[in-house]
Amino acid sequence: MSDNRTRKPTLTDRYVYAVGRRVPRSQRAEIENEVRERIADQVDAWTAAAAGRDGGSTDAAERAVLTDLGDPDRLAATYLSKPLQLLGPMYYLVWSRLLRLLLAIVVPVVLVAVGISNGLHGDSAWGVVFGVIGVGIQTAVHLCFWTTLVFVILDRREEWFKVRRHSLDFTTWTVDQLPQLESERGDGMVGEAIGSTIALAFLIAFVVVQQFDPWLHAADGSAIPLIDPSLWSGYLPTMLGIGAVGTALAWAVRAQGRPAWWSAVLDTVLALGAGVPTLWLWMSGRLLNPSFVEAVNVGDSAETAVGIVIAIVLAYATVQGIVSVWRGLWAANRRGAK
């Protein structure tokens, strides 16, 4: 409303301009005038209060008032009741659940796929490892960025999508989602027993199929088993035996309702009994049928790469199995002590 062009712009002019830049054109003139009025009134008050002390110059008053008003961007936001956060509380939970779910599913799948593909393309072992790490980081960053972007847009521009907040009820919470108490979950151990039985069935099926109906055949039509047939003399029967004993043990623990010291120790012995020989045979190159390796012939470097990945998986599975047995025992003891 005052003519700004005939004189040098004051700090107030610059402040008002800075606020105006941050508000929509339709409200700009109104908000600019309001801010100008507010500054002028506060400058007057400041000058009046300071007059008794040191005479009070208008320049100092203007500076003090503007400093007090603070960052013009922030002030503009308060006039527009605009959120000064990336994502509001309405969408935070949905966003965080969805993102965790996506990360947990997509990243491992991509890692395994890329690892296998790079290995088969004949990358060196380190090439496979670095490739997998790089792709993993890229995948995670992309997932985080795009998911967050969608939610930020949704949060700020609800009218674009014609969504009402309650229509996003794919994450609406119900009482059925309440977590089981540990005491209930541990009860019976039936999950472990069933899982163990299914795993045994798969092991038997795998051993039989790979021997008698494998996916590779020699030129004369005879089967080429995956696992070195000479291992039938000791290793393979032992593995099947360990699987059977482990399953029996799981059902015994189920019958008792909770794991005990003896079952944990036995589980550990079984896990080591299966894991250590398998790993040792694998590392020394005696697990696979030599004619199978020859027939597949993926190349030395790919063989090394895939070999390392499988060795890591084997070692991890063994350690993880033992750890979970002892954690189960620890949790059961803690429940018992209560």
Partner 1 sequence: MSDDLSDGHLQELRRGTVVLASLLLLRRPGYGYGLLEALNAHGFKVDANTLYPLLRRLEQQGHLTSEWDTTQARPRKFYRTTEQGDALARTLLDDWDALSASLKDIQENNR
Residues lying near partner 1 in the complex (CB under 8 A): 1, 33-34, 37-38, 40-42, 45, 75, 78-79, 81
Residues 6 or more apart whose CB falls under 8 angstroms from that of 169 comprise: none
CB of 35 to partner 1, least distance (A): 8
The smaller minimum CB distance to partner 1, of residues 38 and 335, is found at: 38
CB of 75 to partner 1, least distance (A): 8
144, 98 in Cβ contact below 8 A?
A: no
Among 149, 287, 129, residue whose Cα is nearest residue 207: 287
The smaller minimum CB distance to partner 1, of residues 79 and 282, is found at: 79
CB of 65 to partner 1, least distance (A): 10
Contacts 24+ apart (CB under 8 A), 148-155: 148/86, 148/87, 148/95, 148/99, 151/87, 151/91, 151/94, 151/95, 152/86, 152/87, 154/91, 155/83, 155/87, 155/88, 155/90, 155/91
The smaller minimum CB distance to partner 1, of residues 68 and 213, is found at: 68
The smaller minimum CB distance to partner 1, of residues 77 and 125, is found at: 77
- Secondary structure of 89-136 in the HEC alphabet? HHHHHHHHHHHHHHHHHHHHHHHHHHHHHHHHCCCCHHHHHHHHHHHH
The smaller minimum CB distance to partner 1, of residues 23 and 288, is found at: 23
CB of 31 to partner 1, least distance (A): 8
CB of 87 to partner 1, least distance (A): 22
